[in-house]
Amino acid sequence: MERRLAAVMVADMAGFSRLVEADETGVLTRQRTYRREVFEPEIASRHGRIVKLTGDGFLAEFASAEGAVRAALEIQETMESREGGTDPEARVTYRIGINVGDVVMDEGDIFGDGVNVAARMETIAEPGGICVTDIVHQTMGDRLAAGFRDMGRQRVKNISRPIRVWQWTPDGAPQRAEPEEAAKQKVRFATASDGVQIAWASIGSGVPVLKAPNWLNHVEYEWQNPCWRPFLLECSRRFELIRFDQRGNGLSDRDVEEISEDAMQRDISAVVEAAGLERFALMGISQGAAFSVRYAAENPDRVRCLIILGGYLRGRLLREDTEQHELHRVQADLIRQGWGSPNPVFRHFFTSTFMPDAPPETASSFDELQRVSTHMNEALQIREMNARTDVRALAAKIRVPTLVLHAKGDRVCPIEEGRLVARTIPGASFVELPGNNHALTEGTPALAMFLEEVQDFLARHAG
């Protein structure tokens, strides 16, 4: 066996099983044609070789990172020109991942960490896109590197260390510069009682506010994503914001044995201890409301006050509304069928529900944020946990000042659920926000009103 440094490319067809089920002969014929007319000649022209075929893709080795990246770009641009006019449901697209690392050669095949990481880059890439590791990005020329956007560090399956990832997509928007505040953030890791590593970060100064996780977070990548960047920026200018990635997503451990309400409470406690928090304000957004309510009820000596935004006490399956039950079922099916799919139907369904009034750039980035934050199985587990949560009895025991805010037209969590939170927690104040977005977006009256109300509330109850 021979060990050497190599640039490794891994590619596979997005939605292969679904496409083959719909048109086995047609899809396999197109795959063979593309391999003969696109992949093999382009890889050979860049001094690479296809090591092996993988059924729905291939593994290739190159002498240089530049050669691998140039080949990948040409392949994806050619595929876009050939398949771009095809119905999205039947379109053949490939994901490509590239890494430079040690490989072990054995009887013509290659193995090792360099291959494993490249394979994980492929799973992160968008259909029709390319993801490369930071070492690949650093070795690329300026002209090649310019089209790649920084996705920050990512947790990938079976790799213990977070890996910084750069992404290229055919229609990728130019990367916006991170605000200065982002550079001041330091990501740390707390160890939960079962050994799971929980990524947390703090930014800003003043009153400490711990934000419980909402639906899928990434403490680094959120600064680059227009869904969360304005929210984080404005909060960090008003108080110290401490937040963390729940187990199963973001920079926290992904492949964990337990995703449950009990585990979430242990994770909150681990972050509280790691951050040295004694008395603090607790903020729960969306699913984070139920976790915050339980923590506040069980730890009254820690929580000064409670802020709830777009939250609920009972999960979707516990509401007396058949439409909510059906919505849960449909969303679960869409996640199973379309997590990372090139079909825009899967992407737009969630975006139009969470932020129907968002501008195009923000809306399109929401799908990417979900996709890079976790994998399909973990997303399903988190959603099922949220759908069955019930903290109504605990909410009635809370005795700290509580502010509840909810958008009037929220389609993810109806405003009636927000009003239930305010009615159940003794003495809670309720503020109705304008608009239909579940996630507050930049430049909206709802975000401005939220910030004003929270700042005034913290001055009165957490100063």
Neighbours of 270 (CB within 10 A): 21
- With 0.95 as the threshold, say if the pTM is over it: no
Return d(Cα 215, Cα 208) in angstroms, integer. Answer: 22
* Res. 345: pLDDT tops 70: no
Could you tell me how far CA 107 lies from the centroid of its own chain?
39
What pLDDT is attached to residue 180?
Answer: 73
**Of 213, 181, 373, 220, nearest to 288 (Cα)?**
213
Return d(Cα 17, Cα 57) in angstroms, integer. Answer: 12
Q: Which residues is 149 bridged to in the sheet? A: 167
pLDDT in tens, 363-422: 777 777 877 888 888 989 999 999 999 999 999 999 999 999 999 999 889 999 999 999
Strand order through the sheet with 429-433: 186-191, 197-203, 240-244, 208-212, 280-285, 303-309, 402-407, 429-433
pLDDT in tens, 96-127: 999 999 888 887 788 888 999 999 999 889 88
Identity of residue 212: A
Return d(Cα 409, Cα 338) in angstroms, integer. Answer: 26
* Res. 344: pLDDT tops 60: no
Contacts of 58 by beta carbon, 8 Å cutoff, 6+ apart: 10, 11, 35, 39, 50, 51, 52
Angle between helices 344-354 and 360-373 (to 10 degrees): 110
pLDDT in tens, 192-246: 999 999 999 999 999 999 999 998 899 998 988 888 889 999 999 999 999 999 9
Neighbours of 208 (CB within 10 A): 21
Band of residue 176 on the pLDDT scale cut at 50, 70, 90: low
| Over residues 333-342, mean pLDDT | 73
CA angle 337/284/391 to nearest 5° reads: 85
**Of 215, 202, 317, 198, nearest to 265 (Cα)?**
198
Identity of residue 411: R
Tokens representing 318 are 């516990």
Residue that is written with structure tokens 């193995």 in the block: 111
Return d(Cα 354, Cα 343) in angstroms, integer. Answer: 18
Return d(Cα 292, Cα 421) in angstroms, integer. Answer: 12
Residue 15: left (phi > 0), alpha (psi -120 to 50), or beta?
Answer: left
